[in-house]
C-alpha cells in the first residue's frame, strides 16, 4: 500500500478548505467535536478558524454539531454519528469505498493509499496499531 506523508502545511491547507466549504454551505454549526485520535487536531483548527466552540460529544448546541475526523476510510466511525439528527460530518480525506460520505471533505483518495498525518509516527503501519493489538 502506498504511503503519503503529510506536512503541517498540508493540514493547514486542508483545514482552510474545509472552513471555506462550511462557511459557503450556509449551515449553522453550533459546536464542533473531534473524534479521538485523528479528528482532534483538525477539529481544534476548525474551531479556531470558524470561531465555533469545541465541545465534548454529549454537548447540546444551537445549530448542527460538526463531527470531525481525519479520514473517512471504511466509514464505520462516521456511520455511528450520522444516525443522529442535527449532526454534520467533516474529514480531511475520504475514500469513495466508504459506506458513508462526509458532508464536508478536503480530498478524495484512492483505496490503496495510506495517509500518514504529521501527528502520527513516521513508521506508522498500514494496519493501525490499535487494530493489530486485537489480533
Question: d(Cα 17, Cα 70) in Å, to the nearest integer?
Answer: 14
Angle, CA 119 vertex, CA 114 and CA 124 arms, to 5°: 40
pLDDT confidence of residue 94: 97
- Single pTM value for the model: 0.86
Please write the tens of the pLDDT for every residue from 34-44: 998 899 999 99
pLDDT confidence of residue 115: 93
DSSP 32: E
Residue 104 predicted with pLDDT over 90? yes
pLDDT confidence of residue 134: 44
Domains of the chain and CATH, by start? 2-132 (3.40.50.2020)
Residue 129 predicted with pLDDT over 70? no
Pairing of strands 29-34, 2-5: unpaired
Question: Is 39 within 8 Å of 69 (Cβ atoms)?
Answer: yes
Question: d(Cα 104, Cα 93) in Å, to the nearest integer?
Answer: 10
Question: For the chain, where are the alpha helices, taking DSSP H only?
Answer: 8-25, 40-50, 76-82, 129-132
Beta bridge partners of 113: 2
Cα distances (Å, whole numbers) of residue 38 to 17, 33, 107, 123: 18, 12, 16, 16
Amino acid at each position: 500500500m502506498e504511503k503519503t506523508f503529510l506536512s503541517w502545511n498540508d493540514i493547514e491547507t486542508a483545514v482552510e478548505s474545509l472552513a471555506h466549504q462550511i462557511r459557503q454551505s450556509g449551515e449553522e454549526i453550533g459546536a464542533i467535536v473531534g473524534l479521538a485520535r485523528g479528528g482532534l487536531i483538525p477539529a481544534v483548527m476548525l474551531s479556531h478558524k470558524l470561531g465555533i466552540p469545541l465541545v465534548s460529544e454529549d454537548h447540546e448546541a444551537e445549530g448542527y454539531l460538526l463531527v470531525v475526523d481525519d479520514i473517512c476510510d471504511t466509514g464505520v466511525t462516521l456511520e455511528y454519528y450520522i444516525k443522529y439528527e442535527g449532526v454534520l460530518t467533516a474529514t480531511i480525506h475520504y475514500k469513495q469505498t466508504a459506506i458513508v460520505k462526509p458532508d464536508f471533505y478536503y480530498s478524495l483518495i484512492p483505496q490503496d493509499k495510506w495517509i500518514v498525518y504529521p501527528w502520527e509516527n513516521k513508521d506508522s503501519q498500514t494496519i493501525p496499531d490499535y487494530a493489530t493489538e486485537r489480533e
